[in-house]
Amino acid sequence: MIPFDLRFPTTVQEALELLDQYGEEARPMAGGTALVLLMQQRLVTPQVVVSLSRVDGLSSISANGSLRIGALVNHRVVEESPEVKAGWPLLAETYHRVATVRIRNVATVGGGLAHADPNQDPPATLIALNATVTAASSGGKREMPIEDLFKGYYETCLTPDELITELTVPRPVRPLKTAYIKFLPRTADDYATVAVAVALDVADGRCVDARIALNAAGSTPIRARDAENVLRGQPLSDEVFRAAAATVPAIVDPVSDHRGSANYKSRMAEVFVRRALEKATA
């Protein structure tokens, strides 16, 4: 690694002031599980690293109405939270599927989102659950739908002076039918070859609303709006699930790599959307 200056602010305000002062020369660091690797490979070479480890006020979960998760909450805490398990079981299950327990004990919710690797697990589930993310800078705060955060491979809409401070997930009117499935042909702690999250609002055997998203299927997490449109208002049936899944290859754009060819992944995306719908409604 190149030498860098390591700062330890203790409040969000102090952290934001440092980011404001150093601009593109600074990088925030939360768990460091992604940033340190990028620095070792010299893919990023910040002169100032702003550690968030001593920053107060971003490490709690509350579930009064919507679920609010501070940016510094680690993956393991989300996975084990009784509130998350009770009200948003898909979220607990998804964070449980990330890497190994060693990584989950350190990696934070905010760091994971800011890292914006399209192969990561939480984004598809957060899109399916209609989550929003709050970002703060010295100039103020803004809240955006989670799907607006991602702009490309390892790229978000955050400016260098912004920090993710909170994730908000609305409480559904009634329990949703949900599933997160991740295709892992290599090892259980690998990144997905393709992964799908679905959340269906079902009443009287019909789909009232549907949200479907995929990871590892393009340069960002992808929301399958056409598939959602096929499902809305329809009775739940294998035929409808197949018709919804059939819209998926046209909207994904995976890369060929050691996990499979682009064509293979596109076909798997269709298969996995159908299977996720079956699992959610089984």
Ligand X SMILES: Cc1cc2nc3c(=O)[nH]c(=O)nc-3n(C[C@H](O)[C@H](O)[C@H](O)COP(=O)(O)OP(=O)(O)OC[C@H]3O[C@@H](n4cnc5c(N)ncnc54)[C@H](O)[C@@H]3O)c2cc1C
Chain residues in the site for ligand X (CB under 6 A): 27-35, 71, 98-99, 103, 106-108, 110-112, 114-115, 120-122, 158, 163-164, 191
Rg (C-alpha) for the chain, rounded Å, is 19
CB of 240 to ligand X, least distance (A): 30
CB of 210 to ligand X, least distance (A): 23
Cβ proximity to ligand X, 109 vs 198, nearer residue: 109
Cβ proximity to ligand X, 121 vs 228, nearer residue: 121
Task: Give 169-172 contacts, CB < 8 A, sequence gap 24+.
Answer: 169/66, 169/67, 169/69, 169/88, 169/91, 169/126, 169/129, 169/130, 169/131, 170/66, 170/67, 170/129, 170/130, 170/131, 171/63, 171/65, 171/66, 171/67, 171/87, 172/199, 172/201
Cβ proximity to ligand X, 165 vs 247, nearer residue: 165
CB of 226 to ligand X, least distance (A): 25
Tokens standing for residue 13: 């305000």
Task: Please report where in the chains the tokens 């899109």 appear, as a residue.
Answer: 127
CB of 143 to ligand X, least distance (A): 14
Cβ proximity to ligand X, 122 vs 228, nearer residue: 122
Taking the alpha carbons at both ends of the chain, their separation in whole angstroms is: 50
CB of 203 to ligand X, least distance (A): 32
Cβ proximity to ligand X, 193 vs 247, nearer residue: 193
Reduced to 3 states (helix: H, G, I; strand: E, B; else coil), residue 144 is strand
Cβ proximity to ligand X, 89 vs 235, nearer residue: 89
Reduced to 3 states (helix: H, G, I; strand: E, B; else coil), residue 220 is coil
Tokens standing for residue 260: 């499979």
Q: Which residue of this chain has its Cβ atom nearest to ligand X in the complex?
A: 111
CB of 136 to ligand X, least distance (A): 9
